[in-house]
Structure formats: C-alpha cells, structure tokens
C-alpha cells in the first residue's frame, strides 16, 4: 500500500509500505476512505518537537474508513462497516472513559499511520463508531465525518469546556481548522453571541459562515479589551483557545470574565502560566487532547442530518500521492486544512 512518511523537517514522502495486520485481538484493520493533514503535523514539519526515527515517521491520525478485518475480541464493529474513530484510542469502559475523558483512557494511546491506504486501529471496540447507513455517497459528507475524527471533535470539546450554551457569549482564539470548528460548535450548542478572532479574510468568512456574529482583528490585550467592550465590560462567558502559545493563552484568559470558562485545545507549546495571575483571573480552565469519542455519536447524527457542515474546513482535496503539496499549502497558510484521498 501507499503511505505518507516524514523523514525530517519539510521532507514528506509517499512510499510503499506494508499493509497492516491484526496484532492484538482488540484490533481492527481499516481501508482508509479519507484522511487529512492536521495542524499538529506541522510542528515536526517545521522542526519543532521533532523526533524522526530510522526509516522516518509515518504520519496521520485522522480517518474514516471501512472495516476489512477485526481481531477475535472485537464485537462492536465488523467487516464492511463504515466507521469514524477518534485520534485517541480508548477502551471506553474504564472510569476515566465513563466520565467522558476517553482521550485519557487508563488503557489508551494515540492513533497513528492514517495517511495511508490501510491502517490498524487498536482498542477498536472503544475507539470506532459505526456510521448508520454505511459509506455516504457524497464526498462532502465524508469530509464532514472525517473532520469529526479530530478537528471538529476538538473544537467541540473546546466549546463544551468553555460551557457554550444559550445566553452565553463565547469567544474563540485561533482561526485554524480547530478554532473555526469551535465557532461552529459554540453556535450549534446554542451560544447567543460568538466572537471570533481573525485577521485573514478567507478564515473570517468561514467563521461567519460557521456562526460567528463578530470577527475581531485585534490580538492580545487589545483583543481582550474589545471582547470586554462587546460584553458590558465583563468579558466573554466562555473562551476557546485553539492555538497553544503564550500570547493566545493569555489572550484567552484575559477575554474571559471572572467565573467564566476557558477551554484550551491548542496543543500547548512553550506556555507558562503565572499562578498569581491565574488565581486573580478566577476563571475555570479545562483543556487537553479532546475526548472526541464522547461526542462522536452526536456529531455523526448532526452531520448526517445536515445540521452542520464541518467539512468546509477542508479548503482543498488531493490524492494521497500529492500529500507533500498539501503539507506545503498548510505550512504556507494557503489552505486551512487538506483532505487526502488514499
């Protein structure tokens, strides 16, 4: 089969690789029907947090696919099922999973190797969710289901952590695919006013299409001050942080009113929070890898019903063979997110 391997910063190749097979009795093998490039794939691409083993680093953790084989312990999915899975593996039965934090499953781990024609999913029973009705004919629907695998699920978690709901003003820091998905999530969860931060017209346009009522170009303390102006001086009830750096984290906290909620889902890089500032900000903070599995059944239902169209974050669709061009386009911010056809 063909699969994407990164050999060093900026060095993405599509190579012949071994088709995976069942290793553990809880595994499933999928024919990957759609994969994509994640913003977090750009960290090693840019040489940050980069660790390249001998033979390179197989890429990808987002996927929808058709089950082709299952281990003997697997009972929730079977060959032929069209499934969506989280980028985090989970047994979905431990106390942490039952509490809805499948991304920190006591027996979990992270998914990998999905930018390929086939992939192996450990903990298949607790990780995969069957899409009712099988593989959709419309590639737009497939794109939306693929988004649910990570970027939508992550934005959704951010909005839930920010306690988006009726009567609330929710601000979103970050106009990448996760931030835009958080805008969509906040609105879908009933937020009264959604404020997006963006200074790129294409991204601001998609934010508006996803439900943003206001788009602010200012950043940092200036951006936070604008949020306060829009909220009677108080700050937003909830803020989603979808970047992961010091400036964005401080902007998120400063934009939130005391007693409000900051959901931070941008993978944290070089962030340090001063305890005393946080103490006196008096906001709730919750973040981390999103427990996408918690939200998947609901997200699949909303997508199939046509209520939400998160697949619009994919601004281009390429054959797997052109993955390198996809990485370049995302690195240069020409594309928000790139869909790959294996």
Indicate left, alpha or beta for 270 from its phi (over 0: left) and psi (-120 to 50: alpha): left
279 binds its own copies (CB under 8 A): yes
Which residue's entry shows tokens 């899975």? 85
166 binds its own copies (CB under 8 A): no
179 binds its own copies (CB under 8 A): no
Q: What SS3 class is residue 82?
A: strand
Q: Distance of CA 331 to CAs 43, 99, 270, 323, 326, Å?
A: 10, 36, 20, 12, 9
- Site track 103-122 with its own copies (rule: CB under 8 A), x = hit: xx-x----------------
Angle between helices 177-188 and 201-209 (to 10 degrees): 20
Which residue's entry shows tokens 């934005």? 155
- By CB under 8 A, the count of residues binding its own copies is 42
Contact call for residues 112 and 61 (beta carbons, < 8 A): yes
CA distance 99 to 182: 22
Structure token digits, residue 84 = 């969506």
Q: Toward its own copies, which CB reaches closer, 66 or 284? A: 284
Contact call for residues 341 and 37 (beta carbons, < 8 A): no
Shortest Å distance, C-beta 103 to its own copies:
7
23: buried, middle or exposed (CB in 10 Å: 19+, 13-18, 0-12)?
Answer: exposed
Binding part of the chain for its own copies, among 36-44, 172-180, 216-224, 231-239 by CB under 8 A, reads: 231-239
Binding part of the chain for its own copies, among 135-143, 180-188, 229-237, 308-316 by CB under 8 A, reads: 229-237
Q: What SS3 class is residue 252?
A: helix
275 binds its own copies (CB under 8 A): yes
Among 8, 79, 100, 297, binds its own copies (CB under 8 A): 100
Q: Toward its own copies, which CB reaches closer, 168 or 203? A: 168
Q: Toward its own copies, which CB reaches closer, 90 or 144? A: 90
232 binds its own copies (CB under 8 A): yes
278 binds its own copies (CB under 8 A): yes
Structure token digits, residue 174 = 């970050």
β-bridge pairing 214-216 and 193-197 = parallel
48 binds its own copies (CB under 8 A): no
- Site track 54-93 with its own copies (rule: CB under 8 A), x = hit: ----------------------------------------
244 binds its own copies (CB under 8 A): yes
Contact call for residues 127 and 293 (beta carbons, < 8 A): yes
Shortest Å distance, C-beta 258 to its own copies:
3
Nearest to 266 by CA among 287, 292, 237, 250: 287
CA 216 to chain centre: 23
Binding part of the chain for its own copies, among 38-46, 63-71, 261-269, 334-342 by CB under 8 A, reads: 261-269
- Site track 287-306 with its own copies (rule: CB under 8 A), x = hit: xxx-x---------------
264 binds its own copies (CB under 8 A): yes
283 binds its own copies (CB under 8 A): yes
The contact set with its own copies (CB under 8 A) reads 94-96, 99-101, 103-104, 106, 232-234, 244, 246, 249, 257-259, 264, 267-276, 278-289, 291
């Amino acid at each position: 089969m063909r699969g994407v391997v990164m050999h060093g910063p900026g060095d993405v190749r599509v190579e012949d690789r071994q088709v995976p097979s069942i290793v553990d009795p809880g595994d499933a093998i999928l024919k990957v029907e759609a994969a994509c490039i994640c913003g977090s794939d750009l960290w090693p691409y840019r040489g940050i947090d980069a660790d390249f083993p001998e033979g390179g680093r197989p890429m990808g953790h987002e996927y929808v696919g058709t089950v082709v084989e299952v281990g003997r312990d697997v009972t929730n999915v079977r060959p032929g099922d069209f499934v969506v899975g989280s980028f985090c593996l989970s047994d979905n039965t431990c106390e942490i999973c039952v509490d809805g934090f499948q991304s920190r499953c006591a027996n979990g781990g992270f998914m990998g190797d999905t930018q390929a024609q086939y992939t192996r999913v450990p903990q298949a029973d607790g990780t995969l969710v069957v899409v009712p009705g099988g593989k959709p004919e419309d590639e737009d629907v497939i794109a939306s289901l693929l988004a649910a695998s990570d970027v939508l699920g992550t934005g959704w978690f951010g909005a839930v952590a920010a306690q988006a709901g009726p009567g609330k003003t929710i601000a979103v820091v970050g106009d990448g695919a996760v931030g835009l998905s958080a805008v969509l999530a906040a609105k879908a969860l009933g937020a009264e006013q959604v404020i997006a931060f963006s200074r790129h017209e294409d991204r601001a346009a998609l934010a508006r299409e996803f439900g943003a009522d206001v788009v602010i170009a200012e950043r940092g303390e200036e951006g936070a001050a604008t949020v306060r102006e829009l909220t009677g001086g108080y700050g937003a009830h909830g803020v989603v942080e979808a970047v992961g750096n010091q400036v964005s984290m401080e902007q998120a906290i400063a934009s939130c009113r005391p007693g409000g909620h900051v959901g931070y889902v941008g993978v944290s890089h070089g962030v340090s929070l001063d305890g005393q500032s946080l103490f006196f900000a008096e906001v709730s903070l919750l973040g981390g890898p999103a427990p996408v599995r918690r939200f998947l059944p609901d997200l699949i239902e909303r997508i199939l019903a046509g209520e939400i169209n998160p697949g619009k974050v994919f601004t281009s669709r390429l054959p797997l063979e052109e993955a390198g061009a996809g990485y370049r386009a995302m690195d240069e911010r020409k594309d928000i997110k790139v869909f790959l056809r294996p």
